[in-house]
Chains A and B, each alone.
Chain A
Amino acid sequence: MIASIAAFLTGLANPTRFLTVAGRLMPWMIGVTALLFAVGLYLSFQAPEDYQQGMTVRIMFIHVPSAWLAMMCYTVMAIAAIGTLVWRHPLADVAAKAAAPIGAAFTFLALLTGSLWGKPMWGTWWVWDARLTSVFVLFLMYLGLIALNRAMDDPARSARVSAIIILVGYINIPIIKFSVEWWNTLHQPASVMRLDGPTIHPSLLYPLLVMALAFSMLFFTLHFAAMRNEIWRRRVASMRRQAARSARG
């Protein structure tokens, strides 16, 4: 069993094999994502209003999954960075590079929807507390990595530099997660991922979990599609170099 899983993953390490598998999976992933969003949005608007937040509690159904994904996407990039530096996995750098714009988009959404929730609930769009500031730093890190990838022509060199920066920057993820416990913040402490279980009522928790699943599937679908594009981009570059060499020789 383990051997067959290992053989499957080793097979995926080949970009051509990955293109074939991803191509077959893509319609199913799009379908599951659409279905989860349909159910999640239905449950989100059927959920009762919160006794304190009123209808603004519905912002939580998109804000919390966006924030989770902002961190999950960076974790995927960190795993890919290890793959680049340790195993020189052919798809590792492709995965990290393809994930950065998606992570930036979800981090932007987390900041924006958090701000739109904060104004009516806290009375302010923004405060420089530990949670908000560390998520803003994450957003800047995504933008920096995108800029770095675009600034360097040599993909191999860019891959190693990016991987090191990603791994150094990973220190920000536990800071984001535990910022609400380590410092006195306006942002409320964790209410779902807690050792003593969620503190949210099931009528609000279940829509949130379905939306989190929908956002996660959306991330994996977009990531697979962006990885395929990145493989094709590298093939085009390789073929152009080949054509230039043939023309010279």
Chain B
Amino acid sequence: MSHFAYVLISYAASAFVVLALVAWVIIDQRARKAELAALESRGVRRRSDSAPAKADHG
């Protein structure tokens, strides 16, 4: 294997891992927001929220 191949695989693997981390964060964020929205649509509120509760999606 040429030296170029080692460099290419290193950068490609790094890009894959970084993109996987970004995808994990985005997918997790969407899932949590969907869960919060579903609970709020059922009228569930956090105890610390003053009535009428306001959704805090950051």
Contacts of A62 in B (CB 8 A): 10-11, 14
Residue of B nearest to A219 (CB): B21
Q: Are B14 and A66 in contact (CB under 8 A)?
A: yes
Cα A13 to Cα B39 in complex, Å, equals 25
Contact A59 B6 (CB under 8 A): yes
Contact between chains at A242 and B47 (CB < 8 Å): yes
Task: Give the docked Cα–Cα distance between A188 and B53 (Å).
Answer: 58
Residues of B in contact with A, size category: 20 to 34
A242 touches B46 (CB 8 A): yes
Q: Is the interface of B mostly helix, strand, loop or mixed?
A: helix
A222 touches B36 (CB 8 A): no
Asked whether B14 lies within 8 Å of A113 as measured between CB atoms, the reply is yes
- B residues near A, CB below 8 A? 1, 3-4, 6-7, 9-11, 13-14, 17-18, 20-22, 24-25, 28-29, 32-33, 35-36, 39, 42, 44-47, 56-58
Extra contacts, 18 of them, besides A101-B24, A238-B46 (Cβ < 8 A), are A19-B57, A20-B58, A23-B58, A59-B7, A59-B10, A62-B11, A62-B14, A101-B21, A109-B13, A119-B6, A229-B29, A232-B29, A232-B35, A236-B32, A236-B36, A239-B44, A239-B46, A246-B44
A-B contact pairs, 5 of them (CB 8 A): A20-B56, A105-B20, A119-B6, A229-B25, A236-B35
Residues of A within 8 A of B (CB): 16, 19-20, 22-23, 54-56, 58-59, 62-63, 66, 101-102, 105, 108-109, 112-113, 116-117, 119-120, 218, 222, 225-226, 228-229, 232-233, 235-236, 238-240, 242-243, 246
